[in-house]
Structure formats: C-alpha cells, structure tokens
Chains A and B, each alone.
Chain A
Amino acid sequence: MHGARLHGFALLVAAGDAGRARQAAAEALEAGAAQAARLRHPERAAAWLRRHTLLTLRRGRLGKGLSEAVRQAALAELGVGMGAYRALGQLSLEQRAAVVASAIEGLAPIDLETIMGAPADRSRRLATDGLRRYLAAMAPTLPVGLAPAGPLARRIRAAADLALGVQDGASG
C-alpha cells in the first residue's frame, strides 16, 4: 500500500536520483516491515516511513554522476516538468521533503512533524519556506495571461464567481 507513494516521495526528495531513492524507499519499507508487529499507531506509518527515507537520503551526496537529463527524466514519469524540476531543485533537502509531504501528499501537520523530526512551528516553517522558494523560482517562468485549470485555480474561480454573483445581486 505504501510502496509506490513512498518511492515517489523519495524520488522527488532525491531530486530524481532514482538509485538513491529506490534504495532509501526499500530500506524504509524493510525496516517498517520488521517493525510492523510493534506498530501502535499504524495511521502514522506513512510518516514513519518517510522519516526513515529522509534520513537515509541525507547520508551522502545526491545526484552524483547523474546528468540533469537523467534526473529530470526520472521525475517526468511522476508528472514533473522541467520547470518544476528546476524550481524544486532550489529547495534544500528538508524543504523539498516538507513541500512534498504537505503540498503534494497533503499529509497532516502531525505527520509533517514526524517526517521532519521537528516541532510543529519549525516543520510548518520548513514547508512554508520551501513553498516560497519554489514559487519564487517557478512562477516567473510561467507565461503571463495563462488560464490555469488545476484544482486550486478552479476553486479560486468558483469563489470569485460566487463573489461576483453576490455583488451583482446586492447591487441589483
């Protein structure tokens, strides 16, 4: 159940270093399997596995000997374009992990604390700083005048439409 998502988490945090990501995820899964019988909070297992993965990825240098094209190709399978790849590359390892866990996976704050091994405010700051840095690198590369069609854009559009409707109604 956790394998594929954990592998994807590792691949993103490792910035496309597929070998390191595969090994980190596999090690975490193996350690998790060895401890499964002792799990008292299985709902927190995803965070535990990501914590293990993050600590493994911290050891040693990422992307050693790998070209940018190879790393980007590994991430393209997840739907990461070149722009996002480069923007995420501006983040520290911890910031990437925090952004992936919170903004992409939507994990709960308590899970983020576990993954980052840090208290709530510090974990949240890592995610916020990571997002800020990602946006600073990514947003300027997007064309002006585009009409985004993603879920967040649709939500904002719906709220704006609602606001316009209410205002029209109030004025009329």
Chain B
Amino acid sequence: MSDAHRRFTEWLFAGSDEELPRDLALHASVCADCVRAVAALDLLEGIDLERAGVPGPLPAKGRVRTLLGAGTRVARLGGAAAGAVLVLVVVGGGAGPWLAGLFGASPDSGVLGHTATPGASATQPATVSPDPGSPSASASGPEVSTGAEPSGAPWSPPVTPHPTPRPTPRTTAAPTPVPTATPVPTPAPTPGPPSAPTGLTAVAGTLSIQLTWVRPASDPPIIEYLIYRGTLPGEATELIGKSNLSLSFSDSTAIAGTNYYYVVSARNAISEGPPSAEVGPVSLTPPPSSSP
C-alpha cells in the first residue's frame, strides 16, 4: 500500500472533515480502490433518514408489554419488591408521572439534570436498575461491544445465501424425486448507476408538453431524474429540469411552432445512468381558433 493510499484511507476514516491535501486528492482521483471507497461513502451520504416519517404514538399494548418486561427484569435481578410494584402499577394503569420519573431518568445525565462532562457516564434510560446485558455507565467498563454482533441483537444479512438444508427422508424405499420447490437465492444486484428509463412518451398540450416514463432498475435507489431537450434528433442535451421521484415532467418552456426531442436519465448516489430512448419530434398543439 502506497503512503498516499494509506494517508487517504486515514483521512476518510477520520471523518474527512479536515481539508484534503492535494497530493491525496490526486491519488484518490486515479486510484480505483479509493474511487470505489469514495463512492461507497457517498452512498451513505445519499441516505435520507427523514424519509422514515414520524413513528407515531406508542401503542398502549406495546407500552404495557415493554414496561412489564422492565418490571419482571427488575424482579429477576433481585429487586423483587420493586419489580412487583412496577408490574402492579403498569397493570393497574395510572403510572403517569411516577413512572416518567423512574423510567425517564437520564440516558444522558449531561442532558437531564446534571452538567455534562465529556467522556463521562451515560446511564440506562429505561430500567430502574442496571441491566446486566446493557452497557454500564462507567467509562472504563466493557460497555460497548466491538465484536461482530452483540449477543442481544444478532442480525446479519446473508451475504451469500444458502438454501435451507433439506431434512433427510426417514423412509428408505424407492428414491422419491425431490420437489422442485427448492428456494433459489436471488442473485445480489450489483450496485452501480441506474439503468435507462424506458417507455418515455411525450404528449403535447397547448401550453406545455407532458413527459412520462417508466422507472428503471437501480441499486442504490434513484434520487432524481434529469430531463434533457433538443431541437434536432440526437441532440437532446440541454438540461431543462429535474424530477425528484416523480415519473412525469411538464415542459412549460416549450415554444409554439418548434419541434422538440426529449430524453430522460436517472441518477442515484453513485452516478447518472444512460439516457432513455429519444422521443420526438413533438411540438405544442395550436390553440383552438376562437370564432369571431
């Protein structure tokens, strides 16, 4: 690994907040591995958390179950009386501010109630007593797992999916043909630019030309569509607009009497994809002549 490569990698992992030295910029723009690393990080930049929407109020059933779980955990940990009281209060309702005082106690004592101390403790928010499976408040304790997956939340998508092993049949009679219902793992799509939009159509109106198209395949997902126009076939290169995720666009800048050609391309976090097949010529429809 070259020195520039190593330094660029360190710059990336450091959060890439500092100014990028020029020699590293030059290296990163020609090194295939660095280009791919940059593209991979830009994929993260393209993630929009707000699209998740507001989660909505907690359903009462889920809340009771959660608090009951907390209560039983407390009881299991030895605080039998406290756990029992907690369970009773939750079942009986009316936990209200009393519970808020208990459960709402600070995950971050620096935010709630105490002065923040950088690097200091953060305590368990949702339990009355420390949960042995949760991180402790101590900065020196083994509160954070850096392993592959903590035991409390094992999850890992199958990178190379294997069909579930078929159980061996108990009978040893004539070999039965295996049904053809064996699940076939879906091949992982290769991330890259989106394909070209298909089915581009242009419908002329008196004031605008309406374009519609069909969403192409893309991984990562499409961010926007780019609409290009030209007045000669094969020369639709003037960018006239963008469409977020809508599969239509209205060209209201068309001039009556001019023939237009259009293409549309899709863009994702990696790059812009190829253009669609061109559509045209199309021109604004003359308005109906008004009778005298």
Which residue numbers of A lie inside 8 Å of B, CB to CB? Answer: 3-12, 15, 17, 21-23, 25-32, 34-35, 38-42, 44-45, 47-48, 51-52, 55-63, 68, 71, 76-87, 89-90, 92-95, 99-100, 102-105, 110, 113-114, 116-120, 122-123, 125-129, 131-132, 134-135, 137-153, 155-157, 159-160, 162-164, 166
Contact = CB atoms under 8 A, between A and B. Distances in A.
Interface in B132-146: 133-135, 137, 139, 143-146
Contacts of B23: 163
Interface stretch (B14-22, B206-214, B281-289): B14-22
Contacts of B274: none
Contacts of A57: 153
A78 B191 contact: no
Interface stretch (B49-57, B77-85, B168-176, B234-242): B49-57
Interface in B93-139: 97, 100, 103-104, 106-108, 110-116, 118-119, 121-122, 124-126, 131, 133-135, 137, 139
A89 B157 contact: yes
A36 B62 CA distance: 22
B178 interface: no
Contacts of B124: 55
B54 to A, nearest CB: 4
B26 A11 contact: no
B189 A151 contact: no
A8 B144 contact: no
A135 to B, nearest CB: 5
B22 A90 contact: no
